[in-house]
Structure 1
Amino acid sequence: MDSLARETIVSEIYREGYAKKISLLLALIALLVAASIYSITAGSASVSLEDVGLSLGGALSTLINGILAFFDHFIPCGYRIPVMAPHSDIASVIVVNMRAPRILLAILTGMSLAVAGVVMQGILRNPLVSPFTLGLASASSFGAALMIVMGVYIALPFIPGDSSVVISAFAFGCASMALIYGVSRMRGTSQATLILSGVVIGYIFQAGVLVLKYVSNNEKLKDLVVWLMGGMWSASWDTIIILAPITIFCMAAMWLMAWNLNALAAGDDIAKSLGIRVERLRLLCLFITTLAASSCLAFTGVIGFIGLMAPHICRMLIGNDHRYLIPCSALMGAIILTVSDTFARTIMSPIEIPVGIIMYIIGGVFFLYLILRGKESHIY
């Protein structure tokens, strides 16, 4: 077989593999859209698809008309879009003000945690690494617990009371990254050093959470336990406006580093020979993943297993190429959390189960299945 024929065969195989991966990503997008549509109609008060469309269309028309009214001050046109209204007055409130931001928060959180997990596993070449392994969840939990239990004593006048828990959780999540960075700079940015530093720092912050549980009264203890279970109770359009730019920026930044992550998977020496500054890449990825995960966890509380489950499933489906693995994991994480949150709020309706509990059950069953089926070879 001459070289031209071999090149033709290789090119054909590459095109087939590329088409399969793109088809899988499109299928996941369609599945996410279907899950979102079902989620927005399901609940204690059922809403028809027609009312969902009219409610969202009316809200979008109102937004566009507001923008047009603003530009009328500069270029008068007087044009307005007719505002659609659903058949039921309460449907608009349920869809626009309650369910739509909740679904978007679940999607953004699932994407952030899943991509953070796959990137951390890539830079450390360890399939069991996630944002929680490196102490991020424990640090955010301590920050939230500190404000829930002691907020009345340490509240700052320029921080609104309702925002103090979110700001504190985010700040301590970022602080855990800074501590890991400091330790790794002293000991060198090896994989083992980063993982061990994260585990130790996580235990320290977890001890702080236990102390705050011990000294809190019954009311504060209940609020703290509920936050630690994880849920979408903070969902609002203000939350989405804050999280959406952060999530998009972090995902885009991590996807742009996909080639470097692929090279790093072959080993530090090979990556260095290709001109990649390995230590700098690890620390940059660590900072971006911490920003993505801690910003979401600050609003949702502790939600586990997304950063482990989504990358594992996607490696089975699409392989280890981070150019496809990152978007695939993002979509898979969004699907898992959206479906889990819908299940959590409908299975015992009108009582709502914290989605963190559902994720622990699903994650435990998933990894137990892998172990019993003997699929260790697929874990990485």
Structure 2
Amino acid sequence: MKRIGWAYLGVMILLVVTIVIAVTCGSSSISWQHMTMTDYNTIFNIRLPRLVADLVGGAALAISGAFYQATFRNPIADAGILGISAGADLFAVVAALVIPGAFWFKVGGALIGGTIVLVVLVTLQQFLSPTQLILVGVAMDAAITGVQKILNTNQLNGLATVTWTGTMVLAVVGVIVIIAALFVAHWGNYLKVSDEFLESVGLNPRLLRTSLLIIATILATCTTAVIGIVAFLGIIVPQSCRVIIGRNYQNLIPFAGLCGAWLLLATDTFGRLIVQPSEISAQIILAIVGGPFLIVMLVKGKRAVQ
């Protein structure tokens, strides 16, 4: 328990420090003694909505990834790898083209797109091995991304374009669903055993799995609708957290949420500051880090099997 307590304290300190840096540092210098209207606008209309989107979106993607890994029983399952984020992004683009400016319609489109991909995966799951299912997800991701590029007319989102409108939608939906995720976090532990055993003790494995998939998909698709596709965060964070605090989902889910919030905020802030006045998107940084991370996981998994 001491180890878990120190882990929480460490990530909370990192989170507070990174929040301070994210608010105070940027391409435009802020005079805290003599703040102008431009300074207020920079902080409250540019940096704060982006900061909130980082925190909620990062937590949502980390928790989503952990639940996908529990339900599909695959350590590299997450919304990006499975093609769910791509489906959400495609339908969000279509919704934005049909009714421009209607943000809730865009979020609804993202949820529909992600759900369609999820239904395909769940349907195929009974016929495929975990590895084959991941390959199907990767194939769907590639196909959907191709269609999305054809349809795209600068409708893609990113943290650099986040406003309070999108951030508030993400905050409301994200916080509510994250709270729900904390209440059912222990269900992830039940899915470690066979369905037959769960049924023998009076639990419904299909209900458990479906509930966690719904929570994971709402979190992933809503985040994608607001800030775009963020690859690998849903793999990096849960897997790293398992090493730090163990595999008990009651501890893993809240800790992964905090770590996900910090990681997205840290990479976004680093990307803003490293090449001022330009910036490198958090998506690019996480893709650069996540690719090698995934390769290491696959190599370790192969050695474990051998």
Whether TM exceeds 0.5 here: the answer is yes
- Pairwise CA RMSD of aligned residues? 3.1
The residue that corresponds to 1:162 in the other structure is 101
Letter in 1 for 2:264: L
In the superposition, relative to structure 1, how do residues 98 and 255 fare at CA in structure 2: closer, same or farther (>3 Å)? same
Give the whole-Å Cα distance in 2 for the aligned partners of 1:115 and 1:242.
18
Of residues 304-313 and 23-32 in structure 1, the stretch that sits farther from structure 2 once superposed is: 23-32
Is the aligned partner of 1:28 residue 2:3? Answer: no
Letter in 2 for 1:181: V
Is the aligned partner of 1:332 residue 2:259? Answer: yes
5 Å-filtered alignment, 1:195-344, equals: 200=136, 203-204=139-140, 206-211=142-147, 213-214=149-150, 220=153, 223=154, 227=156, 231-344=158-271
Larger Rg: 1
Give the whole-Å Cα distance in 1 for the aligned partners of 2:257 and 2:5.
14
Q: Which runs of 5+ in 1 are unaligned?
A: 1-17, 52-85
Paired residues of 2:60 and 2:257 also in contact (CA < 8 A): yes
Shift of residue 167, structure 1, vs aligned partner:
3.4
Q: Percent of aligned pairs with the same residue?
A: 25
Letter in 1 for 2:51: I
Give the whole-Å Cα distance in 2 for the aligned partners of 1:173 and 1:195.
25
In the superposition, relative to structure 1, how do residues 195 and 285 fare at CA in structure 2: closer, same or farther (>3 Å)? farther
Paired residues of 2:74 and 2:130 also in contact (CA < 8 A): no
Shift of residue 234, structure 1, vs aligned partner:
3.6
Of residues 363-372 and 303-312 in structure 1, the stretch that sits farther from structure 2 once superposed is: 363-372
* TM-score for both structures, normalised by structure 1: 0.70
Give deviations 1:50-84, integer Å, cap 9, x for gaps.
56xxxxxxxxxxxxxxxxxxxxxxxxxxxxxxxxx
Give the whole-Å Cα distance in 2 for the aligned partners of 1:261 and 1:361.
29
Paired residues of 1:113 and 1:292 also in contact (CA < 8 A): yes
Shift of residue 129, structure 1, vs aligned partner:
0.5
Is the aligned partner of 1:96 residue 2:23? Answer: no
Paired residues of 2:27 and 2:273 also in contact (CA < 8 A): yes
Letter in 1 for 2:23: I
- Number of aligned residue pairs: 304
Q: Which runs of 5+ in 2 are unaligned?
A: none
The residue that corresponds to 2:112 in the other structure is 174
Shift of residue 263, structure 1, vs aligned partner:
2.1
Give deviations 1:177-208, integer Å, cap 9, x for gaps.
245437746x7x75958986786476456435
Q: Greater relative contact order (Cα 8 A, min sep 6): structure 1 or 2?
A: 2
Paired residues of 2:85 and 2:114 also in contact (CA < 8 A): no
